[in-house]
Structure 1
Amino acid sequence: MPLRFWSCLTLALFAATPANAKSCAPAWVAGWASSQFRPTGDAALPAGTLANRTLRQIVRPSVSGDRLRVRISNLAGTRPLMLAGASIARARGAAAPTIDPATLMALRFDGKPDVIVPAGADYLSDPVSLPTKALDNIAISIRYQGDPDQTSHPGSRATSWHLPGDHLTDEAMTSAAHFDHWFNLAALEVERCAPARLIVALGDSITDGKGSTTNGNDRWTDVLAERLQADPKRRAIAIVNQGIGGNQLLDDGLGPNALARLDRDVLAQPGVSHLILLEGINDLGTLTREAPVSIEAHQAHVARIIGAYRQIIARAHARGIKVIGATVMPFVGNGYYHADAQNEADRQAVNAWIRNPGHFDAVIDFDRVTRDPVHPDRLLPAYDDGDALHPSPKGYRAMGDAIPLSLFD
């Protein structure tokens, strides 16, 4: 053909490329996460439970994406965590270990199937191309080499399954033993071509979901995730739950205090743009759980709680994160804390500070949503799971539904 033809064709193709091509700047965002720490008491497994076993865990990313990578944690380990292999696949559901074998992929770490995670460290897998929709059930299987030090999120409200030996490619993990904890699994990160924003919910057992349905994904954060995905304008907003049962602002409980874990669980999350802080009820309750204290001690304790809020706001603002304060919910009638009128006065003082403009960037008034109008120092009976402290699934639904989505615009 004449040279002129090829020249014209080349020019035509060159001219057409910008018009037809889609610009894409891929970015990673945390689609799911759990706060990992050293389990104690009943939350710890008997020694040897995970030794040389395959553990399959089901998680649900809150946003869609094109590629995935897994963050493995050895945070509480005092020696290296040795994994002989790992895999990922779509799960058939939230309440069983069965996977879709057509989606099964081996995970690699620096191109290798095995990995050694140093003590106290996290390790990212290599990305895999597994296009995922928001709220899909994703199964992550890891095979332990030896008996690991335990790093865990005990309050998973999700079932995990384990078998001795290599079962990374099993479709059903028939006859597997199970427990309701996550181990060594800190995050599932999602790569998106489109921009994404991330909400981190930092809290205690009310955020962790005590009282919600095991494998039901009906915590208040799950309700919020579903609402975001139902809104075409806000489907690019992810949310991760970094609640720990018994967590406090000031002191360690079942896990480290909120100030101690802020950097790792909030500020280090890829894509974080918003923080919802629901903390303080355990601080208020533990003050007098063993014995009464003076009025001066009550006042000093409230001042320390408010000081912790100020610290979290300042450190998040330094990273450009919008901080949304959630009011502390009622707990009079709880048999563990046996709150009296002075504890209630402390709660009211804390909530007054949260509501006062100029502190948080915005406020979610969970107190107003969940309290009994007749007895405002107590949970509404319809929202009470039975201990006068934790909401029922209906209560969590009310909390998730009460959050204005415009807060994340």
Structure 2
Amino acid sequence: MNDFARKAGTALSALLIAVSTAVACTGAPAQAGVERHQSWQAAWTAAPQRASSGFEANWSEEGFSGQSVRQVVRPAGDGSSARIRLSNAYGTSPVRVTGATIAYAGQGASVRPESVRRLTFGHAVSADIPAHGTLTSDPARLNVRAFQPLVVTLYFAGTTGPATFHAQAYATSYRAQGDHLADASASAFTQTTHSWYYLSGVDVAGGTRKGDAVVAFGDSITDGFGSTNDANGRYPDELAERLAATGRPRPVLNAGIGGNLLLNDSAWYGDRSSARFRRDVLDQPGVGTVVVLEGINDIGFSESDTPTFKPAPVVSTDELIAGYRRLIRDAHAKGIKVVGATLLPFKNSDHWGEHAASVSNAVNRWIRTSGEYDAVVDLDRALAAPGDPDMLNPAFDSGDHLHPNDLGYTTMARLIADRL
């Protein structure tokens, strides 16, 4: 045998051994290979906030100790596998997640037992969410369907301290003493709240649609204030359903934070828009479009005596326009299209006043006519009361003259879907 043939035979033997080994390995290496080659699409998100007491009781300031927290989410995308993202963005020390599961939701805090999947992190059942950081699970084989609710359960054997959370979920979360990760029954989960804790995202892979998710970015009107708890009546929910019903299914991700400001940070209402835009929009996997509906709190907080609205500097039209332009520039730099939504009418609300009226009209005029957005949806005119363009139509008013009700959110979704 010549030297070339001998070397070729040796190489062929090594290749056969490598292939046999790869086929035999069905544990962690194979899972890692799957993870490397999957194309992830964000299917659900919640914008993280620092711990605070909020509008209603929540568990963020006390955190968790020897407890399981079970959270119900409704993804807006399909896939054959799923992973979760956890955020400790406002934690000053690592948080140990002792275990986590994902499953199909049953009634209340119950889950469908055959669907429970134990989640791992780097192939370990326990892991730390770094201080000011994030943690992403390994993929779990689970057929996810849009609008089919999922339940994520986290168990914290130790003490977490104050928890990074999303205050206004308009969905019920549940808490139990001890490790109830795999419980199908809801019996141990006797405590409830309307916030989400540490959970900031659910991604899917293996679905049919890639790179065209829509992020709804804004304040409480995007977050869903005034919608019915556990009814998924926020406008981003309604938008996803409408797009699917008209044969144009796209994941819609809700990146609203109640009370959020375009120009200023708030201990209660999250980082200013420009500071969180990358985290909550640009870095979400598979995003193609963002709908921006923000600025009414910058205009209106200075008109109110509400303590949580302070500090509330008086802002000008030019300052707000500069803020919008920064978001548009950052989105376009990543190839993401931007839909500008005009601010809704809010006369007679606690945000209303002479300065607020003047600035909101000027801002809406710029949104309509500047040509700087890729598209514009005129929510202001569409939701105005007959005979008074400054007032929210009573048919769409949740009661505070600022936030829409369920019908108002459905109307917003229809208008935005038409522009998309």
TM-score (norm 1): 0.87
Question: For 2:373, which of 333, 338, 360 is the aligned residue?
Answer: 360
In structure 2, relative to structure 1, the CA distance for the partners of 1:406 and 1:308 (3 Å cut) is closer
CA–CA distance in structure 2, aligned partners of residues 200 and 46 of structure 1? 25
In structure 2, relative to structure 1, the CA distance for the partners of 1:132 and 1:199 (3 Å cut) is same
Say whether the 8 Å CA contact 2:219–2:257 is kept in structure 1: yes
Matched, 1:387 2:404: no
Compute the displacement of 1:50 (Å). Answer: 1.8
Look up the equivalent residue of 2:413 and give its one-letter code.
G
The secondary structure found in structure 2 opposite 1:249 is coil
Say whether the 8 Å CA contact 2:53–2:60 is kept in structure 1: no
**Counterparts of 1:10-409 in structure 2 under 5 Å?**
26-42=38-54, 45=59, 48=62, 50-93=64-107, 96-148=108-160, 149-176=162-189, 177-196=191-210, 197-232=212-247, 234-235=248-249, 237-253=250-266, 254-289=269-304, 301-334=316-349, 336-337=350-351, 339-405=352-418, 407=420
CA–CA distance in structure 2, aligned partners of residues 280 and 62 of structure 1? 26
CA–CA distance in structure 2, aligned partners of residues 403 and 313 of structure 1? 18
In structure 2, relative to structure 1, the CA distance for the partners of 1:317 and 1:46 (3 Å cut) is closer
The secondary structure found in structure 2 opposite 1:72 is strand
Say whether the 8 Å CA contact 1:27–1:193 is kept in structure 2: no
* Structure 1 residue runs of 4 or more that deviate by more than 4 Å after TM superposition: 46-49
CA–CA distance in structure 1, aligned partners of residues 75 and 364 of structure 2? 32
Compute the displacement of 1:39 (Å). Answer: 2.4
CA–CA distance in structure 2, aligned partners of residues 99 and 263 of structure 1? 34
Look up the equivalent residue of 1:366 and give its one-letter code.
L
CA–CA distance in structure 1, aligned partners of residues 359 and 88 of structure 2? 38
- 1:4-42 CA-to-partner distances (Å, cap 9, x unmatched) read xxxxxxxxxxxxxxxxxxxxx852111000001102234
Look up the equivalent residue of 1:86 and give its one-letter code.
A
CA–CA distance in structure 2, aligned partners of residues 208 and 321 of structure 1? 21
- 1:318-364 CA-to-partner distances (Å, cap 9, x unmatched) read 00000000000111101x32x23432121110001101142111011
CA–CA distance in structure 1, aligned partners of residues 51 and 344 of structure 2? 27
Compute the displacement of 1:144 (Å). Answer: 0.9
- 1:143-165 CA-to-partner distances (Å, cap 9, x unmatched) read 01322131000100000011111
Look up the equivalent residue of 1:352 and give its one-letter code.
R
RMSD of the TM alignment (CA)?
Answer: 1.8
In structure 2, relative to structure 1, the CA distance for the partners of 1:68 and 1:324 (3 Å cut) is same
Say whether the 8 Å CA contact 2:376–2:419 is kept in structure 1: no
CA–CA distance in structure 1, aligned partners of residues 139 and 243 of structure 2? 26
CA–CA distance in structure 2, aligned partners of residues 358 and 61 of structure 1? 33
Where do 5+ consecutive residues of structure 2 fail to align?
Answer: 1-36, 307-312
Compute the displacement of 1:86 (Å). Answer: 0.3
CA–CA distance in structure 2, aligned partners of residues 307 and 274 of structure 1? 20
In structure 2, relative to structure 1, the CA distance for the partners of 1:394 and 1:406 (3 Å cut) is closer
In structure 2, relative to structure 1, the CA distance for the partners of 1:49 and 1:341 (3 Å cut) is closer
**How many residue pairs align between the two structures?**
371
The secondary structure found in structure 2 opposite 1:402 is helix
In structure 2, relative to structure 1, the CA distance for the partners of 1:312 and 1:178 (3 Å cut) is same
TM-score (norm 2): 0.85
How much identity, in percent, do the aligned residues show? 38
In structure 2, relative to structure 1, the CA distance for the partners of 1:172 and 1:259 (3 Å cut) is same
CA–CA distance in structure 1, aligned partners of residues 151 and 276 of structure 2? 26
- 1:246-285 CA-to-partner distances (Å, cap 9, x unmatched) read 0010112321111110110011000111000000110110
